[in-house]
Amino acid sequence: MALDFERMVAARALLFVPGHRADRFDKAVASGADAVILDLEDAVAAADKDAARSHVDEWLSGGGTALVRINGSDTPEFEPDLELVAKHGCPVMLPKAEDPRVLARIEAPLLPIIETARGIEAATALCAVENVARVAFGSVDLATQLGVRHDDELALGYARSRLVLASAANGIAPPIDGVTTDLTGESALTADVRHARRLGFGGKLCIHPRQVPLVREGFAPTEEELSWARRVLAAGDSVSAVDGQMVDRPVLERARRLLARQ
């Protein structure tokens, strides 16, 4: 069953589930995630690929709703995966997106993961592909290629900002930040969410159900922000001052966007 395009655009917390673990599919949906991603790629060993496709096929045939992360275009699993998602009309998460021509081949709503140096450099062209709803950042893979820590904010700062700018330049929804691998507590996740939101990201990939509520809350406007937005709009459409700060058309637009996200 297809995931509504608007839900993809508005999603804040997207939860990965290994495709060979059918016992977790319904639990993932019950987590409260805005979207579930059934993973046929990194989470599934080569020996389990066929079984994973079978599990995903059966669950979707039963009425389940999810994105599907397929295997890369340079793998033998790519074509069978495409057949599966075409059968169900599923939105597709394509890993290691680098070539707009590959994206253009897929006749489905797309959420490419940009996670290589070539992908980062091609970000504007990738975001311009017609079926791309938004893009996601593959922080762990890119960090591995660059030889840096995947939790190093400075080392990956340029790549993150490049995706934010490429998305805005093409008029698509803000990108989705990569995963937080630290599952020992809430501090690392909270810090990662705060950093990503500050840069202009609109959501985050999750790898455990308990990450979902924190991510959803972290990317939602705060009560302070909503109160500010209401005061700004109450001041009218002409240039004015609110809380000692000038308010003109761009500030009014930011206020409207905040209120639309509550």
**Residue where the block lists tokens 């081949």:** 105
Characterize 166-205 residue by residue with b for buried, 16 or more Cβ atoms within 10 angstroms of its Cβ, and e for exposed.
bbeebebbbbbbbbbeeeeeeeebeebbeebbebebbbbb
Burial of residue 219, with CB atoms counted within 10 A of its CB: 0-12 exposed, 13-18 middle, 19 or more buried: buried
Q: Is 69 annotated as a binding residue?
A: yes
Using a 10 angstrom Cβ sphere, with 0-12 exposed, 13-18 middle and 19 or more buried, the burial of residue 42 is middle
User: What span, in angstroms and rounded, lies between the C-alpha atoms of 11 and 31?
Assistant: 14
Indicate the burial class of 134 (C-beta count within 10 angstroms; 0-12, 13-18, 19 or more).
buried
100 contacts 76 by C-beta, under 8 angstroms = no
Helix (H, G, I), strand (E, B) or coil at 63: coil
Cα–Cα dist 77/75, whole Å: 5
The angle, 0 to 180 degrees and rounded to 10, between the axes of the packed helices 49-61 and 78-88 is: 10
Binding site for substrate: which residues? Answer: 69, 115
Binding site: which residues? Answer: 69, 115, 141
Binding site for Mg(2+): which residues? Answer: 115, 141
